Amino acid sequence: METAGWTHAEIQPTNALVTHDGHAAVIDNALTCGPGDDRRVLLPGSSHAPELATAILSTPADTHIPAQPTADIWSMGASLFWCWAGYRPVPYDDTTDRLEKLAAITKCTTTALRDVRSWPFPEFEDAITACLTPDAPTGPPRRS
């Protein structure tokens, strides 16, 4: 999907499905952004990536912020972290105000996976950590 310029824009644990043969699929494409001038709107919950959280906090509410494929990388890593460790990678609880959650996400400060994982799995940890690297080449989100 990303290689063709599409972004799911809402990767989270509830939007992934593992099939009976062990393959994974990203489902619920309601917010998918295409490479063209697609006008899908990011919902309040679809701000798992720091670049999207930053854009949402610094852009008027009526401005469309299309997600970039790099946001899916962060969101996939965050989802894998959460599913495996049982904790969000960015610490906040369900009662935290939405703006505070977004502000926490923009800092790119994650809980150390080794401190919350159930058992060591170095290859998996490396993949998750690579997805959550703040220095990943994300670039600024497009605005339209």
**What pLDDT, on a 0 to 100 scale, did the predictor assign at position 108?**
84
**What pLDDT, on a 0 to 100 scale, did the predictor assign at position 115?**
94
pLDDT in tens, 44-69: 444 568 888 888 888 887 777 777 77
Q: Band of the pLDDT at 70, cuts 50, 70, 90? A: confident
Average of pLDDT values for 115-142?
77
Considering the entire predicted model, what is its pTM? 0.68
Burial state string for 37-57 with b = 16 or more CB within 10 A and e = fewer than 16? eeebebeeebbbbbbbbbbbe
CA 59 to chain centre: 19
The domains of the chain are located at 2-131
> Average model confidence (pLDDT) for the chain?
75
Q: Both tokens of residue 52?
A: 């999207």
CATH of domain 2-131: 1.10.510.10
